[in-house]
Amino acid sequence: MELFQHETISLLHITSWDQDHCTASELEWILDNLKPRKLEYPGYEADNDNSIKCLGLIENYKNQRHILSSSVVRVTPEYVNSLKSGSGYSYKNIIFHPKKYTEKANDNSIVKFFRSGMFNVLSLGDVESAEIATLLKNSSLIEEVDVIILPHHGGHSEVLTKDLLEKIEPSIAVCSSNHSNQYGHPTQDVRNLLDKLDIELYTTKSQDIIIESTGSHYGRYKVYDKKVNKNNEEEAIIEDLQPKKFIELRKHEDNQRKSYKSAIYKPRK
């Protein structure tokens, strides 16, 4: 955030109640210091001390005077099913799941497609079910994905199949894991699959991965590898890529309105 001179964040998106997705002490710091303008959190039952504390912190944040109640969203199946259907090459974000709850907590994780910026990111949370993979494969919208955040930290998941990745054709896959993760994420099978499909893999195991819209008229986004163990010094740009959205820029009225206002060419982080 210091690199881009930001003190607050526009959205805090919590995919799951598992402690490796939301820790109460870290959440409290984020809410106190980064003050997200919007917060999305899981709708399924919080069933351990950490998740119950997290839910309490969110409720307290929601009750603060400067926070609009509509800006704190509990993502339930009812909420997801109440949303309007998405359309191609738009700037409106899409929540694919949870369409319904299952007995397996991981599969109640939020699956969201972020499209409000110049490049598109599909976040797959902790989901593992083949049924959710089918839900995604049945949508033509996922073909717009530029960056995929691997499900279940790059561990075993029936969502991450060759068929799905061939349909998405992302340029970049990001594995969110820390240096001491005991499961060795991402697994070698996942690494082999991504390599076979020529999808570049980045992991947060020893560094932060930063992807930035450049605001270029030509529609580019850049990937940085920011080493956290080198005094937070900025590293060189690794990738300089063109988003799929730019290629289809004029095909959707939403994009046309954006381009008329020049909003699409402003830097988005």
3-state secondary structure of 125: coil
Kindly report, residue by residue over 5-22, the tens digit of the pLDDT.
889 999 999 999 999 899
Strand order in the sheet with 147-149: 94-97, 111-114, 121-123, 147-149, 172-175, 200-203
Q: What is the total residue count of the chain?
A: 269
Confidence band, pLDDT 50/70/90 cuts, at residue 255: low
**pTM to 2 decimal places:** 0.85
CA distances from 53 to 25, 39, 64 (A): 9, 16, 17
Res 258: pLDDT: 52
**Which band of pLDDT confidence, cut at 50, 70 and 90, is reported for residue 36?**
very high
pLDDT of 43-94, one tens digit each?
A: 999 889 999 999 999 999 999 877 777 799 999 999 999 999 998 888 899 9
Q: What is the pLDDT of residues 174-205, one digit of tens each?
A: 998 655 555 556 889 999 999 999 999 988 87
| Phi, psi for residue 138 in degrees, rounded to 5 | -80, -5
Q: What does the pLDDT read at residue 15?
A: 96
Beta bridge partners of 208: 226
Tell me the pLDDT of the chain averaged across its residues. Answer: 84
Task: Taking residues 203-229, report their average pLDDT.
Answer: 71
142 pLDDT exceeds 70?
A: yes
